[in-house]
Amino acid sequence: MNKGILRVLSVKLLLVLYAHVVYAQKAPEWVLPSTPFNELETAKLMEKGTATIQGTATLKKKGKDNFGVKGSQILLFPVTPYLTEFLELKKKFNSRKKQATMSPLAFSYRVEGRFLDDKGTFEFTNLKAGKYYVISWIAFGRQKTVAVQTGTSTSYNVYGYALGSSPIYEDYHYDVFIENEISGFVDVKEAGAVVNVVVSN
């Protein structure tokens, strides 16, 4: 077989493999709330106020507390009918095939905060009285083990001829970090209030 034909076959094989990968990584079907997003009312909820929400965010895994690290993101949303439906949809549609989502406009009505230290401390200021939803993502470590071939053992007979060989494996341990979502509702009952909360899973 000449080189030209081999090149064509190689290209075709690559295209087939690429198509298979693209199909396997097909984006999920996004499910939006049916409740209309009321931009005017949401904007009113986010007007400047005098209340404060402060607290810590913790992810509990196997009896260990994992905290949001300094500088990582934590978000605050005013609770609206649109957000409430979205959170209900998340319970039903959270798979590779279907996932609940918010419109870009609705998602833009949020307050972006950052953790103040490595113990998950956060603070949101200048808030109006009302109900809010706090959400963040915290990573936790998990150790995994993989067997790696480090050599080969060969057996010989009395005449020095090789009878066979078998691989030698050694276990290697490594850490992987997985992010989990933590979230919770916070009620700010009056202007000027300072509400202390712990957001956890």
For residue 188, what is the domain's CATH number?
2.60.40.1120
Strand 73-78 relative to strand 130-156: parallel, antiparallel, unpaired? antiparallel
78 in any annotated domain: yes
Number of domains in the chain: 1
26 in any annotated domain: no
114 in any annotated domain: yes
Angle, vertex CA 10, rays to CA 6 and CA 15, nearest 5: 150
The pLDDT of residue 166 is: 85
pTM for this entry: 0.72
Reported in sequence order, the residue ranges of the chain that DSSP labels E, i.e. its strands, are 29-31, 51-61, 64-67, 73-78, 98-100, 111-114, 121-127, 130-156, 162-188, 194-200
Task: Give yes or no for residue 128 having a pLDDT over 50.
Answer: yes
The pLDDT of residue 160 is: 75
86 in any annotated domain: yes
Q: What is the mean pLDDT of the chain?
A: 85
The pLDDT of residue 167 is: 86
122 in any annotated domain: yes
Within its chain, how far is the Cα of 14 from the centroid?
Answer: 31
What is the tens place of the pLDDT at every residue in 18-32?
A: 455 444 557 889 999
What is the tens place of the pLDDT at every residue in 142-175?
A: 666 777 888 888 887 777 787 788 888 887 766 6
Domain of 47 in residue numbering reads as: 32-140+179-200
Contacts 24+ apart (CB under 8 A), 99-102: 99/28, 99/29, 99/30, 99/31, 100/30, 100/31, 100/32, 100/33, 101/30, 101/31, 101/32, 102/32, 102/33
Q: What is the DSSP string of 39-79?
A: HHHHHHHTS--SEEEEEEEEEEETTEEEEPPTT-EEEEEE-
111 in any annotated domain: yes
What is the tens place of the pLDDT at every residue in 82-105?
A: 999 999 999 999 888 899 999 999
Helix locations, 62-201, DSSP H: 81-92, 104-108
